[in-house]
Amino acid sequence: MSSEPRRLHPAAMVIEGIRAVRRWASAAAIPGLAALLGGLSWWALALLLAGAVLLAAGTVLWGFLSWRATVYRVEGGAFHLRSGVLQKKERTIPLEHVQSVDAVQGVLQRLFGVVEVRIETAGGGSSEPDASLAALSRRAADELRRELGGGGRGGEPGEGGGAGTVRRLSTRELLVAGATSGQIGPAAALIGAASQFFDDLYDRLLSEEAARGLLEALAPHAFAAAALLLLAVGLLAWLLAIAGTVLAYAGFTLSRSPDGRNIHISRGLLSRYEATIPVARIQAVRVVEGVLRQPFGLASLRVESAGYGRDEGVSTTLFPMLPRGEAARLLAAVDPGLAADPPLAPLPRRALRRYALRSALPALAAPLAAAGAWSAGAGAGWLLAALPLPALAALYGALRYRDAGWALAGDRLVARSRLVARTTTIAPRRRLQSRSLLRSPLQRRAGLATFRARIASGGGGTGVEVVDLDLRSAWDLMAALGPRPPSPASGRRPVPSR
């Protein structure tokens, strides 16, 4: 491997300078907005313009110094990165610790025809990469990825992966994925935060008399106005969720390297992301059927891999949406060892009561609190609204019981559960870090147990568990998924729960 130190593309000077401006501008955004709304004198405006000129000059100088201070090389079985203008930093990453090498092409990188390279190591899981190179030419990025063991790219940004393409997300699938993404809640929260700003404008643009007249005009139709407002907010949140999905997943392409050792993911409308995940380091796969997608037989696929923990959002998405019946075929194209769709064994019927009670008991607090408020003189409306909650929670628990199941498909554990979305986890036995069997006093009394297995993933690990499993089945799982599986002559085979 070459030990010659290499610099970033000269476009890094502009990119780093703009990033510095963003940091400084974000710190001055709120005070500046307050000053603009309060009015500016000529003296304050001149001072503001002079500050802008100094900021532009400082940006150019900072970008040049940052580019000059950043040097990287691959030498002695490790990646070395030296950076820092005021405080010098040097990072050394052994090549065997490199889990992924991703290429990101944001709007600025697209303008200059360069890419940003992000390097993740084992034990990642934070939102920031372990090492980042702001601007490399496509050729330099491919050379670095080969040296780090990430293979070549699976296609240019915006293109497929050629003969290695496994599947592309069509425009129709993209829009359906946005409409069924279930991200309306975060979008509604964004609308709520923006409404605070418009409240200030409302107070400034409308006089007190005009505001009073508007409220009096709407008062006779208050219920209809509130319903229309809620409908408008919900529709806007839904459209924002679709837009967010389009921005994140437009052009989503899943491909596989010619040697079959890596899978490549390319996605994004304004900013293009290229992720490379070694197939050998995939610990488990999750098939997620959201509330809005399950009735239509749709699901998304997510991977658990060291350096790609669940907290990293869309970087873990193997494919954002596809028909549930096609999940096994896609997984087989990625790695046959991950493909499994066996019939699942249900939990024993005596576990149904435990699932219903676990969900209903916390919900009892609502009618109890409403009853206390009613006895203190509050209206009976709250009590009437809270009374059905325990029954609804018990139905939710019954739904969780119905959806829970497990199976052994060869040497793979398949477990299904529901919190909000119904999730099926497929974990090869060789990827399980630990296995445990837990029994509470009430579970002992009912002859039940909780089987729990842990797999390595970004933030230190994640778990797969089957709650209220039949005790005999739980012990059979422990034996079958242990470090040394039982021989066929032993006669101990997993049996379905009764």
More confident residue, 3 or 439: 439
Residue 274: pLDDT over 60: yes
Can you tell me whether residue 454 is helix, strand or coil?
strand
Can you tell me whether residue 285 is helix, strand or coil?
strand
The alpha carbon of residue 312 and the mean position of all alpha carbons in its chain are separated, in whole angstroms, by 5
β-strand partners of 276: 264
More confident residue, 59 or 338: 338
Residue 160: pLDDT over 50: no
Q: What is the pLDDT of residue 204?
A: 54
Count of all residues that appear for the chain in the document: 498
Q: For the chain, what percent of residues have pLDDT higher than 90?
A: 38
Can you tell me whether residue 287 is helix, strand or coil?
strand
Q: What ranges in 341-461 are assigned the alpha helix state H?
A: 352-363, 365-375, 381-386, 389-403, 441-446
Residue 85: pLDDT over 70: yes
For residues 127-155, give the mean pLDDT: 78
Q: What is the pLDDT of residue 491?
A: 42
Q: What is the pLDDT of residue 194?
A: 55
Residues 6+ positions from 168 with CB-CB distance below 8 Å: 160, 251, 252, 253, 254
Give me the residue label for tokens 């505001």.
211
More confident residue, 455 or 155: 455
Q: What is the mean pLDDT of the chain?
A: 80
Can you tell me whether residue 382 is helix, strand or coil?
helix
Strands 89-94 and 98-105: unpaired
For residues 389-397, give the mean pLDDT: 95
Q: Is 306 within 8 Å of 457 (Cβ atoms)?
A: yes
| DSSP state, residue 271 | S
What sign has the CA pseudo-torsion 244, 245, 251, 253?
positive
β-strand partners of 438: 450
Q: What is the pLDDT of residue 475?
A: 94
Q: What is the pLDDT of residue 490?
A: 43
Give me the residue label for tokens 């050379």.
143
> How far from 372 is each of 319, 366, 375, 377, 388, CA to CA, in Å?
49, 10, 5, 9, 16
Q: For the chain, what percent of residues have pLDDT higher than 70?
A: 75
Q: What is the pLDDT of residue 488?
A: 46
More confident residue, 485 or 241: 241
More confident residue, 439 or 120: 439
Residues 6+ positions from 266 with CB-CB distance below 8 Å: 154, 155, 157, 158, 159, 160, 161, 251, 252, 253, 255, 272, 273, 274, 275
Q: Is the pTM of this model over 0.85?
A: no
What sign has the CA pseudo-torsion 106, 11, 150, 69?
negative
Residue 383: pLDDT over 50: yes
